[in-house]
């Protein structure tokens, strides 16, 4: 059922990702401008991720008429998988699936407006109607009431919650001209408080260099527990990422969270060698008119911060090639920071060449009652 009003007025807020899940939403890939060579290489990686999710919770796999048979064949025999046919424009579940809120017992969705990361101003493709309809469709198919927030443009990758009243965003994204240009920073912050139950919003200045989402927060900084974050980092002062990460570090070191705690920042270095589009990658794409196109040599927004918490694991991107040592370093750091979870390295290059990473293709559903 579609609901009006603000969730916070009814005691609902956004739980942290590391809180218990009922399940995870993931959309099986097929868009030829994002996933090369008929999406087959990406589908294998998505299937691996779905199997890992299903070890700990239900994987809700959204398919289309064109991918349903393929998904069912690749996931045959995997327990805890529910396949749901809902049309979409691409596979970024973090941004187009509902954001879920809870009052401690009931769980409801939020249906934000999605405009392909910038609409007519700087959006990444020309048509996004099916993506914008997906959140409400999913809630209807699975029995969740949801709040109508179609008046406000927001993607799930642009927000992180600690589950205790603190929400983290980037100014570069939420204040971009392609989202809510008629609203002031204060009005945007109030909307986040009203819908996510936030008591304080942390505004990081920047995200990851060359991130085509206007620098989503989920690629640069993430809560690992209340009062603690990991921040994408580089010690190389000549790297274009350095001033962006340094600005966010300086900001965080001068801030407290909603409970008044100073924030502990753990540095999680980006790959030592930039991940770039190759000629082989480019040859596999088929771009539509109005769609953002890739170029050989283009630096991708590769970051280990774009991991995902399941109930029992951290699914951690790995980039391979010249970054094997960087990959191993990220595994060591996350193992130390999250000793209560399995650290599962995922070969994620096929995801990053699509434009995002593991966190971008997943959306958690908190544990709780429907309706």
* Residues recognised as catalytic: 360
Phi, psi dihedrals of residue 16, rounded to the nearest 5°: -70, 155
Classify residue 85 as left (phi > 0), alpha (psi -120 to 50) or beta: beta
User: DSSP string spanning 159-200?
Assistant: -EE-SSSEEEEEHHHHT-TTT-TTS-HHHHHHHHHHHH--SE
Cross-strand pairs, 111: 148
Return the beta strands (E) in the chain as ranges.
2-3, 21-27, 58-63, 81-85, 99-102, 106-113, 146-153, 160-161, 166-170, 200-204, 221-225, 228-233, 264-269, 308-309, 313-318, 342-347, 363-366, 369-370
In angstroms, rounded to a whole number, what is the distance separating the alpha carbons of residues 39 and 284? 9
Q: Count CB atoms within 10 A of the CB of residue 283.
A: 10
């Amino acid at each position: 059922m579609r609901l009006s009003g603000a969730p916070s007025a009814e005691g609902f807020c956004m739980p942290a990702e590391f809180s218990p899940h009922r399940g995870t939403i993931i959309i099986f890939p097929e868009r030829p401008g994002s996933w090369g060579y008929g999406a087959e290489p990406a589908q294998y990686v998505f299937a691996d991720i779905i199997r890992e999710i299903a070890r700990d919770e239900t994987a809700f796999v959204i398919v289309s008429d064109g991918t349903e048979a393929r998904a069912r064949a690749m996931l045959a025999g995997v327990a805890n998988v529910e396949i749901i046919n809902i049309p979409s424009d691409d596979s970024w579940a973090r941004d187009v699936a509902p954001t879920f809120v809870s009052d401690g017992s009931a769980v409801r969705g939020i249906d934000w407006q999605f405009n392909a990361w910038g609409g007519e101003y700087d959006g990444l493709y020309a048509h996004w109607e099916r993506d914008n309809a997906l959140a409400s469709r999913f809630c209807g198919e699975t029995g969740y009431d949801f709040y109508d927030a179609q008046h406000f443009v927001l993607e799930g990758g642009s927000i992180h919650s600690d589950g205790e009243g603190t929400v983290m965003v980037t100014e570069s994204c939420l204040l971009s001209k392609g989202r809510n240009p008629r609203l002031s920073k204060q009005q945007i912050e109030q909307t986040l408080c009203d819908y996510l139950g936030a008591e304080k919003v942390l505004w990081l200045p920047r995200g990851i260099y060359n991130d085509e989402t206007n620098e989503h927060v989920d690629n640069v900084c993430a809560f690992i527990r209340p009062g603690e974050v990991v921040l994408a980092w580089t010690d190389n002062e000549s790297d274009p990422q350095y001033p962006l990460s340094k600005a966010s570090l300086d900001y965080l070191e001068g801030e407290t969270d909603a409970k008044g705690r100073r924030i502990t920042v753990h540095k999680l270095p980006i790959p030592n060698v930039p991940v770039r589009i190759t000629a082989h990658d480019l040859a596999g794409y088929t771009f539509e008119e109005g769609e953002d196109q890739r170029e050989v040599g283009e630096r991708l927004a590769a970051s280990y911060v774009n991991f995902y918490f399941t109930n029992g694991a951290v699914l951690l991107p790995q980039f391979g090639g010249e970054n094997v040592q960087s990959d191993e370093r990220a595994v060591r750091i996350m193992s130390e920071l999250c000793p209560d979870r399995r650290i599962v390295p995922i070969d994620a290059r096929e995801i990053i060449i699509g434009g995002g990473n593991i966190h971008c293709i997943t959306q958690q559903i908190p544990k709780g009652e429907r309706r």
